[in-house]
Amino acid sequence: MDEAIFESATITLTALDNMSKFDKPYSKSNLKYPVTLAEILRDACSCCNVILSSQKFLNSDYEVKSRPEDEKITFREIVSWVAQLSGSFAKINYNGELVLLWYDYTNFSFNDYLDGGNFLDYNSGDTADGGNFLDYTSGDRYKGGLFIYTLPPAFISKIKSQKISTDDVTITGVQIVPVDEERPTYLSGSDGYVISIEENPLAQDNIESLAFSLGEKLNGFTFRPYTAESISNPAAEAGDVA
Counting residues of the chain whose pLDDT is more than 90, the rounded percentage is 55
**Which residues, in sequence order, are bridge partners of residue 12?**
5
Q: For residue 209, is pLDDT > 90?
A: yes
Q: For residue 149, is pLDDT > 50?
A: no
**Which residues, in sequence order, are bridge partners of residue 197?**
176
pLDDT digits (tens, 9 = 90+) for 91-121: 999 899 999 999 877 655 544 555 666 777 7
More confident: 66 or 182: 66
Three-class SS state of 24: coil
Angle (CA) 104 106 110, round 5°: 125
**Which residues, in sequence order, are bridge partners of residue 229?**
161
